[in-house]
């Protein structure tokens, strides 16, 4: 079901199943003497409609946790359910299906210079439940880009955009398929204050409207203010603040 | 008009976002694309030259079979190639006429001779052919003109496609063949091959005047209209003694090509050359796509994280490989036209860039480019795209 209007917001209620459940997840890099435990028995529940900020000092394991939830990295211990689905280990196709349901925002925009903004966004919709026609995709892309103050760049190529503008395109791309889960790793690092606020507001609104959850790694105090929950990773353990 | 425009519009509208994505990616970096196409085109050109030259040699070797104006030919059973002429008894042609469906049985004589062209002070070996002036068993020019010219006493016709080493020879000249003087009465079109540099033609009468008991090397059979050629071939074989054999000109053509390929290692040599061109192309294609993947590693990894399937990436890469191949084929073909012109100029063996050569070169080129693209694609599909965050 593709929701483009706001009718879904009424459905967001506490009884809805959590978007993601992390139980007893431990993770270690390396082997033998080089073995280094990064996550130790982490538990985390992401409720629908919540904007959650993940903090912690550098090397605390924030990125590692995001890659595990996002099925980019295989689990070693514990389990993670996303939208009620637990992956069988080694099932490439299952993890791909999970990733398709997630909106990923990275620190870098990673846009192909040869592909226009519109085509980048349209291409993302090929991973959605229903492929969008060109005009449907155009409407959807314009809707999101307008919110990010990027509408006039619909047909631009990345080379014609500033770093901050490219990053906003990457944010728009993550939202094209109405993901139920958004995972962001320092998504506003390259943005100025005004653009950061546009991005945060858009993600918060998306989360509320779609009953989705966002888990955003950031040190940006301006973003932390808007969080429904703030979670800190310390020594591989979760510490909830707010 | 507007309906067509509308149809086109809705067709374009219906194309998915990833349609020709690989083409967009490959064409976007015009410097890299141009460099890759140039490199690949060199490989393609090598293939065009090798295969074109091989085809030219094979066709030249078998040319006489394609010029026969008749339904069947009679040759000595001992003969294995159209250059190793074995003579047979003229009586066999008379015997062939014993089959009622045979209308004409025309003898062709052949011998290597030394051609002396006094003004050019050159002496070179030439192949001399002879046939009855009015029968025209070979398609070498206008039959009426050939007949008129050959009926003059002591006349020879010189092959204007001969290699230039014979010097200028035109109608009105006198030349010597094996120390006997002949008048050049006209020019015909035949063409050299690997063994012959040139040819002359004379009438049967002129030929027999120097060698009265001459034996032909080929008999050209013309059947009465409506005769079943295969049936006639069998009848004649049964009718004639075992020292001669009967076949269609086309069979002789095929047999000659087969013989040339087996007798001389040219098929292998040119095949190896063409394969080298193909390998060059494959390596350049792989290298280009590998570099592109390397340069766009994060971009590709992002698409993988988003959930694009392996087949999506293979399609995108193969599109890029095929685009490279097609562009290089165009550039290589332009180079080949020039190379063929040079080869024709140097050897007198014309090569036309026909559909046959285009396919023989084009299909492996596209295939190998697609394969190289698929190999390069493995670098995108490494186990887990974890380097992104
Ligand atoms: N591929 C890897 N191999 C070995 N060790 C790794 C690897 N990736 C991360 N680590 C280590 O694991 C620890 C956690 O890394 P992670 O990237 O999850 O931290 P982080 O909280 O995201 O840090 P930052 O805020 O600097 O991005 C670090 O000490 C890091 O050195
Ligand atoms: Mg990190």
Residue carrying structure tokens 């409407």? A139
The number of C-alpha atoms within 13 Å of B387 and in the hemisphere containing its C-beta is: 9
Residue A8 pLDDT > 70 = no
What's the rounded mean pLDDT across residues A55-83?
A: 93
- If residue A203 lies in a helix (H) or strand (E), which one and from where to where? helix A193-210
Q: What pLDDT does residue B215 have?
A: 94
What total number of domains does chain B contain? Answer: 2
DSSP letter string over A58-114? TTSSHHHHHHHHTTSS--SSSEEEETTEEPPTT-HHHHHHHHHTEEEE-SS----TT
Report the pLDDT averaged over residues B341-347. 87
The ligand minimizing its distance to the Cα of B386 is 1
What is the token pair recorded at B334?
Answer: 């332009």
Does A90 contact chain B (CB < 8 Å)?
no
Residue B194's pLDDT is 81
Digit-coded pLDDT (tens) for B110-123: 999 999 988 877 78
**Looking at residues B62-79, what average pLDDT do you find?**
92
Q: Which residue of A has its CA nearest to B303?
A: A124
Among residues A109, A180, A113, A185, the alpha carbon closest in space to that of A148 is found at A109
Band the pLDDT of A7: cuts 50, 70, 90.
very low
Please write down the HEC assignment for all residues of chain B.
CHHHHHHHHHHHHHCCCCCCHHHHHHHHCHHHHHHHHHHHHHHHHHHHHHHHHHHHHHHHHCHHHHHECCCEEEEECCCCCCCCCCCCCCHHHHHHCCCCCEEEEEEEEEEEEEEEEHHHCEEEEEEEEEECCCCCCECCCCHHHHHHHHHCCCEEEEECCCCHHHCCCCCCCEEEECCEEEEEEEEECCCCCCCCCCEEEEEHHHHHHHCCCCCCCEEEEEECCCCCHHHHHHHHHHHCCCCEEEECHHHHHHHHHHHHHHHCCHHHHHHHHHHHHHHHHHHHHHHHHHHHHHHCHHHHHHHHHHCCCHHHHHHHHHHHHHHHHHHHHHHHHHHHHHHHHHHHHHHCCCCCCCHHHHHHHHHHHHHHHHHHHHHHHCCCCCCCCHHHC
Q: What is the mean pLDDT of chain A?
A: 89
Q: Are residues B79 and B226 in the same domain?
A: yes
A139 touches chain B (CB under 8 A): no
Do B51 and B82 share a structural domain?
Answer: no
Q: Which residues line ligand 1 (CB under 6 A)?
A: A 29-30, 38, 56, 58-64
- Residue B25 pLDDT level (bands cut at 50, 70, 90): confident
Q: Which residues surround ligand 2, an ion (CB under 5 A)?
A: A 63
Residue, of B127 and B27, whose pLDDT is higher: B127
The pLDDT of residue B11 is: 77
Q: Give B253-262 pLDDT, tens digit per residue.
A: 999 899 888 8
* Residue at B88 is within a domain: yes
Rounded to an integer, the average pLDDT of B184-210 is 92
Q: How many CA atoms lie within 13 A of A201 on its CB side?
A: 11
Tell whether B272 is covered by a domain. Answer: yes
Same domain, B169 and B280: no
Over residues A141-148, the mean pLDDT reads: 96
Reply yes or no on whether the pLDDT at A15 is more than 80: no
pLDDT of B292-335, one tens digit each? 888 888 899 999 999 999 999 999 999 999 999 999 999 999 99
pLDDT score at B385: 64
In a domain, B259, yes or no: no
The answer to the question of residue B155 being in a domain is yes
In this prediction, residue A2 carries a pLDDT of: 37
User: Is B77 found in the same domain as B196?
Assistant: yes
Residues B184 and B83 reside in one and the same domain:
yes
Is B322 found in the same domain as B204? no
The residues, ordered by sequence, that sit 6+ positions from A54 with a Cβ below 8 Å of its Cβ are: A62, A65, A66, A215, A216, A217, A218, A231, A232, A233
Between CA B112 and CA B127 the distance in angstroms is: 5
Structure-model confidence comparison of residues B21 and B221, the more confident one: B221
The answer to whether residue B9 is domain-embedded is no
Distance from CA of residue A201 to its chain's centroid? 14
pLDDT digits (tens, 9 = 90+) for A151-183: 999 999 999 999 999 999 999 999 999 999 999
How many whole angstroms separate alpha carbon A241 and alpha carbon B262? 85
Please enumerate residues of B whose Cβ is less than 8 A from a Cβ of A. 12-18, 21, 24-25, 27-29, 296, 298-299, 301-302, 305-309, 384-386, 388-389
Q: What range does the domain containing B113 cover?
A: 72-247
The reply to whether B194 and B277 lie within a common domain is: no
Percentage of chain B surpassing pLDDT 90? 66
**Per-residue pLDDT at B389:** 57
Contact at 8 Å (CB) between A233 and A65? Answer: yes
Chain B residue numbers touching A127 (CB-CB < 8 A): 306-308
End-to-end, the C-alpha distance of chain B in Å comes to 52
Q: Is the same domain home to B339 and B234?
A: no
- B182 and B80 in a single domain? The answer is yes
In chain A, % of residues over pLDDT 70: 93
Q: What percent of chain B has pLDDT over 70?
A: 98
- B83 inside domain: yes
pLDDT at A10 over 60: no
- Residue B6 in any domain: the answer is no
Residue of chain A whose alpha carbon sits nearest to that of B293 = A112
- Please indicate, yes or no, whether residues B235 and B276 belong to a single structural domain of this protein: no
B97 with B193, same domain: the answer is yes
Question: Looking at residue A1, what is its pLDDT?
Answer: 35
Residues 6+ apart with CB under 8 A from B332: B40, B41, B42, B43, B44, B45, B47, B48, B361
Q: Which of B247, B275, B297 is the last residue of a domain?
A: B247
Whole-model pTM: value is 0.79
Is residue B32 scored above 90 in pLDDT? Answer: no
Does B277 share its domain with B313?
yes
Q: Establish if A74 touches chain B: CB-CB under 8 angstroms.
A: yes
Residue B117, in any domain of the structure:
yes
pLDDT category of residue B388 using cuts at 50, 70 and 90: low
Residue that terminates a domain, selected from B247, B281, B302? B247
Domain end marker among B247, B281, B313: B247
């Amino acid at each position: 079901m593709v929701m483009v209007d706001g009718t879904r917001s009424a459905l967001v209620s506490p009884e809805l199943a959590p978007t993601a459940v992390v139980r007893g997840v431990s993770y270690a890099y390396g082997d033998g003497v080089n073995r280094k435990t990064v996550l130790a028995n982490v538990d985390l529940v992401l409720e629908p409609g919540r904007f959650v900020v993940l903090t912690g000092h550098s090397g605390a394991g924030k990125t590692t946790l995001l890659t595990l939830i996002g099925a980019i990295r295989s689990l070693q211990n514990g389990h993670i359910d996303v939208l009620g689905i637990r992956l069988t280990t080694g099932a490439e196709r299952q993890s791909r299906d999970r990733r398709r349901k997630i909106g990923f925002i990275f620190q870098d925009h990673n846009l192909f210079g040869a592909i226009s903004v519109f085509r980048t966004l349209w291409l993302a919709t090929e991973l959605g439940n229903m492929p969008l026609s060109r005009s449907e995709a155009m409407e959807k892309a314009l809707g999101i880009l307008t919110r990010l103050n990027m509408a006039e760049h619909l047909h631009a190529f990345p080379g014609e955009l500033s770093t901050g503008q490219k990053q906003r395109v990457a944010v728009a791309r993550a939202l094209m398929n109405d993901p139920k889960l958004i995972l962001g790793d320092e998504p506003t690092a390259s943005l100025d204050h005004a653009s950061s606020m546009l991005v945060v507001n858009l993600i918060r609104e998306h989360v509320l409207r779609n009953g989705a959850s966002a888990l955003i790694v950031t040190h940006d105090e301006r973003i932390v203010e808007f969080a429904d929950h703030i979670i800190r990773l310390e020594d591989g353990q979760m510490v909830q603040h707010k | 008009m507007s309906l067509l425009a509308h149809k086109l519009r809705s067709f374009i509208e219906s194309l998915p976002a990833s349609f020709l994505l690989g083409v967009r990616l490959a064409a976007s970096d015009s410097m890299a694309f141009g460099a890759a196409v140039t490199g690949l085109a060199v490989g393609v050109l090598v293939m065009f030259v090798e295969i074109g030259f091989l085809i030219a040699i094979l066709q030249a070797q078998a040319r006489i079979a394609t010029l026969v104006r008749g339904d069947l030919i009679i040759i000595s059973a001992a003969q294995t190639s159209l250059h190793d002429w074995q003579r047979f008894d003229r009586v066999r042609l008379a015997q062939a006429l014993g089959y009622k469906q045979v209308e004409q049985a025309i003898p062709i004589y052949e011998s290597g001779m030394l051609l002396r062209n006094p003004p050019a002070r050159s002496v070179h070996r030439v192949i001399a052919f002879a046939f009855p002036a009015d029968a025209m068993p070979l398609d070498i020019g206008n039959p009426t003109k050939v007949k008129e010219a050959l009926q003059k006493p002591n006349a020879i016709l010189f092959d204007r496609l001969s290699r230039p080493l014979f010097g200028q020879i035109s109608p009105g000249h006198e030349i010597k063949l094996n120390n006997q003087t002949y008048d050049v009465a006209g020019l015909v079109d035949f063409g050299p091959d690997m063994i012959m540099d040139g040819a002359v033609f004379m009438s049967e009468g002129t030929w027999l005047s120097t060698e009265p008991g001459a034996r032909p090397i080929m008999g050209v059979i013309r059947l009465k209209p409506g005769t079943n050629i295969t049936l006639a071939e069998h009848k004649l074989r049964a009718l004639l003694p075992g020292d001669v054999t009967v076949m269609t000109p086309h069979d002789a053509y095929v047999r000659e090509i087969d013989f040339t390929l087996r007798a001389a290692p040219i098929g292998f040599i040119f095949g190896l050359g063409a394969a080298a061109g193909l390998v060059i192309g494959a390596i350049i294609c792989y290298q280009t796509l590998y570099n592109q993947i390397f340069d766009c590693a994060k971009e590709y990894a992002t698409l993988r994280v988003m959930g694009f399937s392996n087949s999506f990436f293979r399609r995108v890469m193969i599109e890029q490989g095929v685009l490279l191949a097609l562009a290089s084929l165009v550039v290589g073909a332009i180079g080949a036209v020039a190379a063929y012109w040079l080869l024709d100029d140097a050897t007198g063996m014309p090569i036309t860039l026909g559909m046959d050569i285009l396919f023989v070169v084009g299909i492996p080129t596209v295939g190998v480019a697609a394969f190289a693209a698929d190999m390069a694609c493995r670098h995108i599909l490494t186990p887990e795209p974890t380097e992104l965050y």
